[in-house]
Structure 1
Amino acid sequence: MTDAQHTTAGEADAGTRAKAFAKSRRGPILGAIFLMATSAIGPGFITQTATFTAQLGAAFAFAILASVLIDFAVQMNIWRMITVSGKRAGDLANSALPYSGHVLGVLIIIGGLAFNIGNIAGGGLGLNALLGLDPKIGGLLTGLLAIGIFLFKRAGRVVDIVVMVLGIGMIVMTVAVAIASQPPVGDALRQTFVPDELNFATITTIVGGTVGGYITYAGAHRYLESGLIGPDHVQGVHRASMQGILVTGVMRYVLFLAILGVVASGVTLDLSGQAANPAGQAFGVVLGDAGLRIFGFIFWAAAITSVIGAAFTSATFMSVFSKRLASGWPLQLATVAFIVVSLIVYLLIGTAPAAILVFVGGFNGLILPIGLAIFMYIGWFRQRDVLGGYRYPRWLLIVGTLATLLSLYMGIMSIGPIFAFLGVGV
């Protein structure tokens, strides 16, 4: 072969390798997008959406919009700082403020563990509606399936596929119910921007339950597995985080429209008692028994993907205490152990009481400004050394700082009501 032919062949091989590498990274990237989205749409969020829509009607659309905007400010900053540095949140926090990552890790793990008990309970309720199984048996099967996924040798790839398939299934089925319920779309769009009623508590609850705690870091930590990190890959990270926010926003809004159609038709959902299931009632009103089955699938899919997201993300924070848990088989075993503990507690106490679930949602909302404050400190004062000299966008820091101050204000205003659910005066 001539030198020119060798050069051409080499370039072709390089091009083939580049395409193969890009294809191999596509799974973790899509997995990160859907892990972020499905972690934000858990059983608690579904129940909250149904409850608040029944109470506020179309005015709840404004709370959905507010949660999406805060989600944007939070996730754009978290994804960029974590991927530019190539470090998980706990390690990144420690590099800026010694032991702050340990404090954040403890808070995330405690909040994630409590939420995971509720997620497993949600899986049991979902399988009860879908297949008629006893909720405790359904919760056990949900937990065992999640454990099986992480015991698989190539757990990362399986997680990506599971969350993508179930996430798409949730969207498709919810869209079908939203169309069938015939919601007043025009009124919903108007009140998305100009609500007839503004309820600050609903915004606090939704933000805490869909952006706070482990949810903040789920997508970014999974994205690190793609290997596409550092300042050179900022544009790819930007696209992925935007896509994750878009998927999350669509899932939230479509679910709201599905339930709004029922409420607007004059049907009154029963919100009394801890056993009340307003979302299941709404789906049943629209499509009868088939609606309950669809609700069962959506609720179970939301539950198991949230179990996966909570367990994986909480386990990644354990690496701040032991580097042996940073990756590979030790990380998988730590994730499995996290699910096992959650499952045992669920089986011992049964379905988590509503007060505990609300408290945990609020607790994760209190965690949110703590983590954000650390990241904003890095962005404003430590980007030169901690982020390797990367020139961080000023507009993104301003947006992130405003979200931090807003979440801090909401957290301070909510401390009393949150702890009141446990009978503790603050």
Structure 2
Amino acid sequence: MTNVAGAGLGLNALFGLDAAVGGAISAVLAIAIFTIRRAGAALDRIVVVLGVLMIGLTAYVAVVSDPPVGDALRQTVLPDEVSWLVVTTLIGGTVGGYITYAGAHRMLDSGLSGPEHAGRVARSSVQGIVVTAVMRVLLFLAILGVVSGGVDLAGAENPTAAAFGAAAGEIGVRLFGLILWAAAITSVIGAAYTSVSFLTTKSTPQRTTNLLTIGFIVLSTAVFLLAGAAPVTLLIFAGAFNGLILPIGFTVLLWVAWRRRDLLGGYRYPRWLLGIGVAGWLVTLFIGYQFVAQNLGQL
């Protein structure tokens, strides 16, 4: 649902369409891309190029908007106030939900499975999280610079697009919309496909899997349209919710790593890596607890 909302925001920035209309159009296009394998492969390559462009555009906005970098660094290490809603939303939106499984799912689909590919999996995961971290920092500095310059984004329907527009003009808004839409529509397909994989087995006919995936996209779009909530609100909610349930996904992965080595084809994770995994799991539990404790009265 939130990926459809993101695609709607992308078309809103690109063409000025209402986000709900943009989400519905994006869902139809996502189904078309999913059913035409060649189109999906082409989109994957285009998204890589657009991802590089997005990093460059965000870096440009971060420089032009002249954010208070020193204050940002200080607040990162020693913040005056800790909002666990913000922390949970950022973590959940970055590595929560289906994202935990989607990368591995794509590698499995490409035929990369088995202990012999462990090195490639490790490199891919590290590269992914590093690029994500760089993008998060650049985007934060870009928005901070725009807000520090006096631009009010509170009432904007599409706050991020408004920030890019304030710093990079109309072309910045259009480029942002294109990049956001492309990233969101791949997530619409990926989220549906990964979610359906939990409902199917290896013996499930491919046609059934495809129909379930299409049905999931249709259902997600219908919920988005019927909810009537602002896309930005839905994205924040999804990030916070994914952050809260992140420990569950971690628990499953750690249980398999520790207790179900029969599922790993004989591969044994290094003890130090398992230790880091447990530490990360404990951190997610702590963050989830703090979030609930801080926001219990509002839940």
Q: TM-score with structure 2 length normalisation?
A: 0.86
Residues 329 and 250 from structure 1, CA distance in 2 versus in 1: closer, same or farther, beyond 3 angstroms? farther
Q: In structure 1, what residue type is equivalent to 2:277?
A: G
- Of residues 245-254 and 183-192 in structure 1, the stretch that sits farther from structure 2 once superposed is 183-192
Q: CA deviation at 1:135?
A: 2.8
Which AA in structure 1 matches 2:285? Answer: L
Percentage of matched positions with identical amino acids:
53
Secondary structure of residue in 2 paired with 1:318? coil
Give the counterpart letter for 2:59 in structure 1: V
For residues 75 and 231 of structure 2, what CA distance do their matches in structure 1 show? 33
Distance, in Å, in 1 between the alignment partners of 2:88 and 2:72 is: 20
1:409 partnered with 2:286: yes
Whether 1:245 and 2:141 are equivalent positions in the alignment is: no
Q: CA deviation at 1:148?
A: 0.9
SS in 2 for 1:271: coil
Cα distance between partner residues in 1 of 2:53 and 2:292: 36
Change (3 A) 1:263 1:353: closer
- 8 Å contact from structure 1 (residues 123, 139) kept in 2: yes
Instruction: Name 2:193's counterpart in structure 1.
Output: 312
- Specify which structure has the bigger relative contact order, considering alpha-carbon pairs within 8 angstroms and separated by 6 or more residues: 2
Amino acid at match of 2:274: L
Change (3 A) 1:416 1:323: farther
Greater C-alpha radius of gyration:
1
Quote how far apart the aligned CAs of 1:210 are. Answer: 1.6
Counterpart in the other structure of 1:372: 250
What's the counterpart of residue 22 of structure 2? 138
Matched, 1:281 2:165: no
Unpaired stretches in structure 2, ≥5 consecutive residues? none
What is the CA-CA distance between 1:215 and the residue it aligns to? Answer: 1.1
Q: How does 1:19-418 map to 2 (within 5 A)?
A: 117-154=1-38, 157-158=41-42, 160-189=44-73, 192=76, 194-197=77-80, 199-201=82-84, 202-265=86-149, 267-271=150-154, 276-320=157-201, 323-324=203-204, 328-352=206-230, 356-383=234-261, 385-415=262-292
Q: Deviation digits for residues 309-364 of structure 1, max 9, x if unmatched?
A: 322221222225x8416xx4443332222111122233334455665544332222
* Cα 1:190/1:251, change in 2 over 3 Å: same
Distance (whole Å) between structure 2 residues aligned to residue 142 and residue 208 of structure 1: 24
Q: Structure 1 155/220 Cα, relative in aligned 2: closer, same or farther at 3 Å?
A: farther
One-letter code aligned to 2:238: V
Counterpart contact for 1:167–1:301, Cα < 8 Å: no
Do the aligned partners of 1:283 and 1:294 also contact (CA within 8 Å) in 2? no
- The one-letter amino acid paired with 2:220 is S
Moved more, 409-418 or 223-232: 409-418
SS in 2 for 1:319: coil
CA shift for structure 1 position 229: 1.9
Deviations 1:254-286 (A, max 9, x none): 211211222333x142425xx654323322221
Q: AA paired with 2:128? A: G
Residues 353-396 of structure 1: CA deviation (Å, up to 9, x unaligned): 6655443322222221112112212223333x332332211111
Change (3 A) 1:403 1:200: farther
- Which structure 1 segments of 5+ residues have no match? 1-116
Contact 1:170 1:301 in 2 (8 A): no
> 1:209·1:365 contact (CA, 8 Å) conserved in 2?
yes
Per the TM alignment, residue 185 of structure 1 is displaced from its structure 2 partner at its CA by 4.1
- Give TM-score scaled by structure 1 length: 0.62
8 Å contact kept, 2:88–2:239: no
Letter in 2 for 1:170: M
AA partner of residue 162 (structure 2): Q
State the secondary structure of the residue aligned to 1:307: helix
SS in 2 for 1:177: helix
* Structure 1, 211-220 or 178-187: larger mean CA deviation: 178-187
Secondary structure of the structure 1 residue equivalent to 2:267: coil
For these two proteins, the number of residue pairs brought into alignment is: 298
